[in-house]
Structure 1
Amino acid sequence: MSASLPDQPAAAPPSRRTLLTATIPAAAALIGVGALSFPRPASLGEPTGDTDLAAAVAPHLKGHQRVAVMLRDPSGATRFAGFGSSESDEFEIGSVTKTFTGALLACAIEEGEVSAETTVEEILGERASGSEVADATLAELATHTSGLPRLASAMLWRATTAGFLRHDPYAGRDAQTVIDDALASSLSGRGTSSYSNLGVALEGQLLAAATGTDYASLLQERILEPAQLTGTYAPITPENLRETHRRGHGVNGLRQAAWTMEGQAPAGGICSTAADMMTYVTGMIDGSGPGAAAATEVLHEGEDKIVAMNWFHSVLDEEADTRLIWHNGQTGGYSSFAGFRSDTGQGVVVLTDSARPVDGLGAGLLTGEVAA
């Protein structure tokens, strides 16, 4: 049984495997309304870095502008190809942030602060009493099986209007508001995997509460500093954006506001670089990174989804149990993909400042369907 693989954008579909619909972050739906604005033509930046890698990926980057691609081969050697971008340029990574939240969960479990079966009520106490999500576990939040909706009902109108205005739809809702949103939500389909930005945001805020800090500080202390990811951070609010941040582009080419996401940051608010992301992915591959168990310790295996701690598993070869371990991301102006193969240790990071999915390119580089 296999989880959904990201769609491959090449003209000819793969002949060896069936590609199902990818688990796409909520941002993909949110930004669609912004496409009603007048389109702007996009021009792919000048290629830099490895010429062979650049030549291989360029045909898959129609409509993109600044792109950074890093590829890790089985020996651990890495190659970089940029288009108007360097290895140290900052990008919003969108829902790839969820894997960092998963790493924080793994770290908290290692420290004995929580277990995968710790419930919402065990962390929040009386505040959660009477809520439908009170007995949901951290494992359910990390695998999208809690039954929480994709977005809180209070977010729906904001999400629609933000798409038109090219604003961050999550702005103005802090950590406590996000927790209240989750506690007020009705559950549906609990036990089956149904993608929930709200669920992972709650997961991150619960971990912060359990450790007596805030999400950005916890991330910095337990993941970023130990792994020396100096180009990676969770700004939380626009005021905390670094001078290195640049506004991305919607599918229509128009500039978009930064998505810092405030209380929803654990679900999609991290900014990073290609170099940092490859260091991070390598730490997941070889187990040296903080919270590396998050990528490989499967917590849910259903008919259509295999999920570790916020990482998706897609089976490439069932007999050999070869898996593609991955996550994608999208904000109003950026898209991303990070993943690796369980058998060869090959890894890939694709970052773009356009809200055009790069899932197929990232997966294709790992499966060999994009020959580089």
Structure 2
Amino acid sequence: MRKPTVLTLVVGLVAAVAAVGIMPRAPRLTGQSTGDTALAADVRAAVPDPEGHRGLAVAVLENGQVRTAGLGERDAAGRPVEPGTPFEIGSITKAMTGMLLARQAATGAVRPDEPVGTVLPALTGPAREATLAELASHRSGLPRLAVTSAGDLVGTWWANVTGGNPYAGRDARWLLDAAGGEEPGDGRGQVHYSNLGVALLGQALATRAGTSYPELLDRELLRPLGMTATVVATDAGALPPGRAEGSTAGGRAVDAWVGGGYAPAGVGPWSTAEDLARLLGATLAGTAPGADAATPRFTEDDRNRVGYGWFTTRYGDREIVWHNGATGGFHAYLGFERATGRGVVVLGNTDKGVESIGLRLLGLPARDADGDGPPLPVWIGAGLAVVLTFLGGLSLLGATRRAPDRLTLAPAVAWAVLYLALGHRLGDWSVVPGWFWPVGAGLSAAGIVLAAYRWRGLPPLAGAPPWRRLTSATFSALLAALALAILTP
């Protein structure tokens, strides 16, 4: 066996062993718990897979009584989750916005069939034609989000890739300007989920009431229900103390989502399991302001109907009224069954779904609670973990054999390191075993050894015309700079 081959194998093995110390480790629900110990045990039994969850706050309403528990960790420091720990609740806010519509309609302040343009005069364009009821039930035909330019798309993508806040700077004025360029599509009258629609609804109701959305929500719903721990953070300074820290299921920390424009649709609101249990109990009892919003009014398909913000789904002969929420680092579920009077709140501080936990706690069998398996984004994250971890090393080994000059080999070495780092950061390591990454590190290290051995015998520049080679190297350098930006916290 030739000396370079032996050295390559040794370095690759050493690097793989050393990389075990820094391999990606997905969060995992720990054994610590607070609150009702029996409920905590029930929750653990309802968690299909603890990998990818860091902490959970849960409330169960049954026979008029509320039990609460906290499980796992609220942050990377290991502080325990408590029933009163604030979590981002995302689109659960849409159910509250629907309740504001039902309340204002009951008092005569607005009419559900009223065009949003008459309530929100600052809104221009065809979107003005959508009615308040259409906005509340996702039947307006408006798109999921407003997009004003290609820069918006790039900015949203970049924030999602880097774990940033995709709604930064998007206040109510921005929302109205952006919505002015949208129009109800051919799907008007059919249920197509629209964050934009519910955001416009909330801003319209606040305008009619002569106040801001956070103040309207607090005045009309939160204070009457005693939900003192629920806040709408339109800027970072309003984030609640003692809050849980969000992350991806793979363990990457993410920023909180704050921004006034999409607040009625779920950007900025934080709540606790205890507070949401108050909302749940009062809605079930019919005493919450706008509780009628949970009544299904429109049909989506043969299993699903929608009211004002709330969804109703049939599972065999049972019906669950619910809404969920998902932000960059949190997942939430709120659901109840009228027939049994049972309700549940589940809040998690990673982007791993908690809907199946909630449905199991409501008593649904696993085949119904677990649905059709992991969503597409989970498999995208898993694919990124595998592809990026091994792509750099494999590409470098190929480039080492074929490289005509050092200008070809140098970028391949750089990308062997960058791909490995991108796999560590962007991969979903709650799905892919973490030990894959040290194997990829060993492969990259072996490629670097071979590249170093070959380097001495290569000319600086050869082959294609120099301008073409230099252009290729420059483009590779720009992509490398982009990768470094993604890797920079």
TM-score band w.r.t. shorter chain? 0.7 to 0.9
Residue identity opposite 1:53 in structure 2: L
Q: TM-score, normalised by structure 1?
A: 0.83
**In structure 1, distance between residues paired with 2:253 and 2:85:** 17
> Does the alignment pair 1:138 with 2:135?
no
Q: Which structure 1 segments of 5+ residues have no match?
A: 1-37
* Contact kept? 2:123, 2:176, Cα under 8 Å: no
Q: Deviations over 1:245-281 (max 9, x none)?
A: 3431112211111112321011113100010010111
Deviations 1:336-371 (A, max 9, x none): 000100211100000011111111111222134269
8 Å contact kept, 1:313–1:323? yes
The 8 Å contact of residues 247 and 253 in structure 2, kept in 1 or not, is answered as yes
AA of the residue aligned to 1:178: L
CA–CA distance in structure 1, aligned partners of residues 117 and 313 of structure 2: 32
Q: What code does the residue aligned with 1:290 have? A: P
Q: 1:315-346, CA deviations, whole angstroms, 9 ceiling, x for partnerless residues? A: 2355xxx4200001011111000010021110
Q: How many residues matched? A: 327
- Secondary structure in 2 matching 1:153: coil
Pair 1:67 & 2:56 matched: yes
Contact 1:171–1:262, Cα closer than 8 Å, also in 2: no
- Alpha-carbon contact 2:130-2:184 (below 8 Å) kept: no
Aligned to 1:157: 154
Corresponding residue number in structure 1 for 2:166:
169
2:344 counterpart of 1:348: yes
Could you say which residue in structure 2 is the equivalent of 1:32?
Answer: none
Aligned residue number for residue 229 of structure 2: 231
Match of 1:181 among 169, 178, 182: 178
Secondary structure of 2:340's match? coil
Is the contact between residue 247 and residue 351 of structure 2 (CA under 8 Å) also seen in structure 1?
yes
Q: How does 1:1-372 map to 2 (within 5 A)?
A: 39-45=24-30, 46-58=32-44, 59-60=47-48, 61-73=50-62, 75-83=63-71, 84-125=80-121, 127-128=122-123, 131-154=125-148, 155-188=152-185, 189-268=187-266, 269-296=268-295, 298-304=296-302, 305-317=304-316, 322-369=318-365
How far, CA to CA, are the matches of 1:199 and 1:116 in structure 2? 14
Residues in 2 aligned to 1:124 and 1:348: alpha-carbon distance in whole angstroms: 35
Higher helix share: 2
Amino acid at match of 1:233: V
- 8 Å Cα contact 2:126-2:182 kept in structure 1: yes
Contact 1:139 1:299 in 2 (8 A): no
CA shift, 1:157, in A, is 2.1
Using the TM superposition, give the Cα deviation of residue 86 of structure 1 relative to its aligned residue in structure 2, in angstroms. 1.1
Going from structure 1 to structure 2, the CA distance change for 1:171 and 1:191 (only over 3 Å counts) comes to same
Question: Partner letter of residue 76 of structure 1?
Answer: G
Q: SS of the counterpart of 1:170?
A: coil
Whether the 8 Å contact between 1:312 and 1:326 is mirrored in structure 2 is yes
d(CA) in 2 for partners of 1:145, 1:219:
23
SS of equivalent residue, structure 2 residue 224: helix
Secondary structure of the equivalent of 2:278?
A: helix
Displacement of 1:168: 1.2
Letter in 1 for 2:313: S
Deviations 1:142-185 (A, max 9, x none): 11110111111234222101012211101101112112222211
Q: Secondary structure at the match of 2:257?
A: coil
Aligned partners of 2:109 and 2:316: how far apart in 1? 36
CA deviation string 1:5-42 (max 9, x = no partner):
xxxxxxxxxxxxxxxxxxxxxxxxxxxxxxxxx84321
Distance in 1, matches of 2:123 and 2:225, equals 34
SS of the aligned residue for 1:133 comes to: helix
Query: Residue 295 of structure 1: CA displacement?
Result: 1.2
What amino acid does structure 2 have at the position aligned with 1:162?
A: A
My pick for the range that moved more, 79-88 or 169-178, is 79-88
Contact 1:295 1:309 in 2 (8 A): yes
Which residue identity lines up with residue 50 of structure 1 in the other structure? D
Q: Percent identity?
A: 40
Q: CA deviation at 1:48?
A: 2.7
CA drift of 1:235 comes to: 1.2
Runs of 5+ in structure 2 lacking a partner? 1-22, 72-79, 370-489
Residue 115 of structure 1 deviates from its aligned partner by 1.3
The equivalent of 1:25 in structure 2 is none
Q: Distance in 1 between matches of 2:36 and 2:364?
A: 17
For the pair shown, the structure with the greater C-alpha radius of gyration is 2
Partner in structure 2 of residue 27 of structure 1: none
Moved more, 180-189 or 354-363: 180-189
**Is contact 1:47-1:81 (8 Å) kept?**
yes
What is the letter of the counterpart of residue 145 of structure 1?
Answer: R
Task: Report the AA paired with residue 257 of structure 2.
Answer: W
Post-superposition shift, 1:210?
A: 1.1
What amino acid is the match of 1:169?
P
Task: Specify which structure has the bigger relative contact order, considering alpha-carbon pairs within 8 angstroms and separated by 6 or more residues.
Answer: 1
Contact in 1 for aligned 2:228/2:275 (Cα 8 Å): yes
| Partner SS, residue 85 of structure 2 | coil
d(CA) in 2 for partners of 1:193, 1:77:
35
Q: Residues 315 and 330 from structure 1, CA distance in 2 versus in 1: closer, same or farther, beyond 3 angstroms?
A: same
Q: List structure 1 runs of 4+ shifted beyond 6 angstroms.
A: none
**What secondary structure does 2:345 align onto?**
strand
